[in-house]
Amino acid sequence: MIDEIRAVLKEHGRLSVDAATCGERNDLYAAGMTSQASVNVMLALERAFDIEFPDRMLKRSVFESIASIRDAVKELTANR
Amino acid sequence: MGQTGIHVEAVRRIAAEIAGPAADGVDREGRFPHETFAALRTARMMSACIPEDLGGFGCGLVELADMCEALAQHCSSAAMVFAMHHIQLACIVRHGLDQPYFRSYLATIVAQQNLIASVTSEVGVGGEMRTSLCGVERQGDRFTLAKDASTISYGQQADDLLVTARSSPEAPNSDQSLVLVRKADYSLEQKGAWDALGMRGTCSPPFKMTSRGGVDQILASPFSDIASQTMVPFSHILWASCWLGIAKAAMTRARAFVRAQARAKPGTTPHAALRLARGASLLQSMRTNVEHAARECEALRGSGHETEVLSSVAFALKMNNLKVSSSQLVVEIVQEALQTCGIMGYKNDSKFAVGRHLRDAYSAVLMIANDRIYATNATMLLVLKDD
């Protein structure tokens, strides 16, 4: 799962660091991810994992690190 | 009238007795409404939103909105300057109370009634507030910061400045900090004029700013949080309240015009009254929108989930919608007032003149261009389900 998240971030996150080696708890916004880029990351994650982020998850804290994204994706894929 | 209503009432009086009589001169000469701010300072309104235990009045967003509306009914420039000052102050009150420097700075504002200007614009970023080119250069516990600002409203008249910048020159341009610089520590080189269609008294030319200070003058919260949780909602609500005041003032003139016509010929409803009716309906929608947003935001205070709601996509979209709709409505309403009054509204020397209101209203769609906001909303709607 982490590898897929990293791949999405590499393609859509517009990070100033390498998404492949970026620490799981590093702040992605501090690494240059803009709000615009974060929307593209959300869309790509929805496609990659066949999920839909409910509106309650559409906030900065959910997308601020690889670990927080993983937790959200885990929650959404848990019951299937 | 409650304990807090007295502050709104005090501003209302200053608006009617001081800002109103000066407004045409402020507009014509493109000068700062200094007499209004002298009165606001005397009434201690520059510290109105500072909590009571720190010496302010503890006014919330609803009261600030009422104050902006009251001022804008008489002088839109004074109202907008008052709004911008309190937007800056709210950022400090809501994000700086844990920092000793900012606590003592708030005491200074209470004592000296300083005026704070915002330095968010920058040459080369194309109007994008969430991007900075300049960066804070730290050396030990001191910093230097230089910024090429495309506009600083009341830059020349302000005491202190709140400036956005990259948190360091090496940081990505979206990793921003908010930095307070004090009068003694900055210099401004004016790079152009402010001879604008409207909002002429805000005195908003471009400036090159150079500053220095102690690193404790940098707010610890990242600007991204300050922007989404405070600066953007406060801006959109207080700006919209200013526009509401402009719309209301134009409608007041239109109402007086129609009443005069009706008195001249009792028994027939003047044609112009139809325009007035349309304007009144638009004004009601606008008022409902603005007041609802202010109350909703205020209700979040101390609710336990304020930060979560304020930083959500759904909330950002709602605030953006308030901005685009009220900035368009103000122009429509003033146009209805103009058509109601006809040539008497068009003539600058008439008591029904709404030319200044119309020119001031046109600034609304440009303060963060509506097209930019629509583009942001379009992106957010790609992921927002609203179900």
What is the residue-wise DSSP string for B276-298? HHHHHHHHHHHHHHHHHHHHHHH
Chain B residues near any Cβ of chain A (below 8 Å): 130-131, 171-175, 222, 224-225, 228, 308, 311-314, 376, 379-380, 382-387
For residue B223, list chain A residues with Cβ-Cβ distance below 8 A: none
Contact flag A55-B312 (C-beta cutoff 8 Å) = yes
Contact flag B174-A39 (C-beta cutoff 8 Å) = no
Query: CA-CA distance, B73 to B361, in Å (whole number)?
Result: 12
Does residue B239 share a domain with residue B192? no
Contact flag B174-A58 (C-beta cutoff 8 Å) = no
At residue B235, what are phi and psi to the nearest 5 degrees? -60, -50
Contact flag A59-B384 (C-beta cutoff 8 Å) = no
Chain A's closest residue to B225, CA to CA, is: A60
Chain B's closest residue to A54, CA to CA, is: B385
Contact flag B313-A58 (C-beta cutoff 8 Å) = yes
Contact flag A30-B222 (C-beta cutoff 8 Å) = yes
Contact flag A55-B222 (C-beta cutoff 8 Å) = no
Encode chain B (387 residues) as per-residue pLDDT tens digits. Answer: 445 599 999 999 999 999 999 999 999 999 999 999 999 999 999 999 999 999 999 999 999 999 999 999 999 999 999 999 999 999 999 999 999 999 999 999 999 999 999 999 999 998 889 999 999 999 999 999 999 999 999 999 999 999 999 999 999 888 999 999 999 999 999 999 999 999 999 999 999 999 999 999 999 999 999 999 999 999 999 999 999 999 999 999 999 999 999 988 888 899 999 999 999 999 999 999 999 999 999 999 888 889 888 988 899 999 999 999 999 999 999 999 999 999 999 999 999 999 999 999 999 999 999 999 999 999 999 999 887
Contact flag B376-A60 (C-beta cutoff 8 Å) = no
Does residue B35 share a domain with residue B55? yes
Q: What is the pLDDT of residue A32?
A: 86
At residue B128, what are phi and psi to the nearest 5 degrees? -90, 105
Does residue B281 share a domain with residue B134? no
* Residue ranges covered by each domain of chain A: 2-77
Chain A's closest residue to B166, CA to CA, is: A30
**Computed over its alpha carbons, how large is the radius of gyration of chain A?**
11
Does residue B212 share a domain with residue B245? no
Does residue B125 share a domain with residue B106? no
Q: What is the pLDDT of residue B4?
A: 57
Helix (H, G, I), strand (E, B) or coil at B15: helix
Does residue B167 share a domain with residue B238? no
Does residue B187 share a domain with residue B335? no
Q: Dump the DSSP string for B40-67.
A: HHHTTGGGTTS-GGGTS----HHHHHHH
Does residue B368 share a domain with residue B246? yes
- Kindly report the average pLDDT of chain A as a whole number: 91
- Domain range for B149: 117-217
Q: Which CATH class is domain A2-77?
A: mainly alpha
Query: CA-CA distance, B17 to B12, in Å (whole number)?
Result: 9
Side by side, the strands of the sheet bearing B116-119 are B116-119, B160-166, B176-181
- The enclosing domain of B175 has a CATH number of 2.40.110.10
* Residue B358 in tokens: 């119309």
Instruction: Count up the domains in chain B and report the number.
Output: 3
Does residue B347 share a domain with residue B227? yes
Chain-centre distance of CA B296, in angstroms? 18
Does residue B258 share a domain with residue B239? yes
Mutate to test the interface with B, among A16, A43, A59, A65 (most CBs of B within 10 A): A59
Contact flag A54-B386 (C-beta cutoff 8 Å) = no
Does residue B246 share a domain with residue B358? yes
The last residue of a domain, from among B114, B139, B174: B114
Q: What is the pLDDT of residue B6?
A: 95
- The enclosing domain of B308 has a CATH number of 1.20.140.10
Q: What is the pLDDT of residue B1?
A: 43
Which candidate from A52, A59, A61 shows the least CB-CB separation from B313?
A: A59
- The conformational region for residue B117 under phi > 0 = left, psi -120 to 50 = alpha, else beta, is beta
Q: Do the domain assignments include residue B387?
A: no
A66-73 long-range contacts (CB < 8 A, ≥24 apart) are A66/A2, A66/A5, A66/A6, A66/A9, A66/A22, A66/A23, A66/A24, A66/A25, A66/A26, A66/A28, A67/A24, A67/A25, A69/A5, A69/A41, A69/A45, A70/A1, A70/A2, A70/A5, A70/A24, A73/A1, A73/A5, A73/A45, A73/A49
The last residue of a domain, from among B71, B87, B114: B114
The last residue of a domain, from among B87, B114, B141: B114
Chain A residues near any Cβ of chain B (below 8 Å): 16, 29-36, 39, 42-43, 46, 52-56, 58-61
Does residue B161 share a domain with residue B108? no
Mutate to test the interface with A, among B305, B313, B385 (most CBs of A within 10 A): B313
Chain B's closest residue to A17, CA to CA, is: B172
Mutate to test the interface with A, among B128, B129, B312, B317 (most CBs of A within 10 A): B312
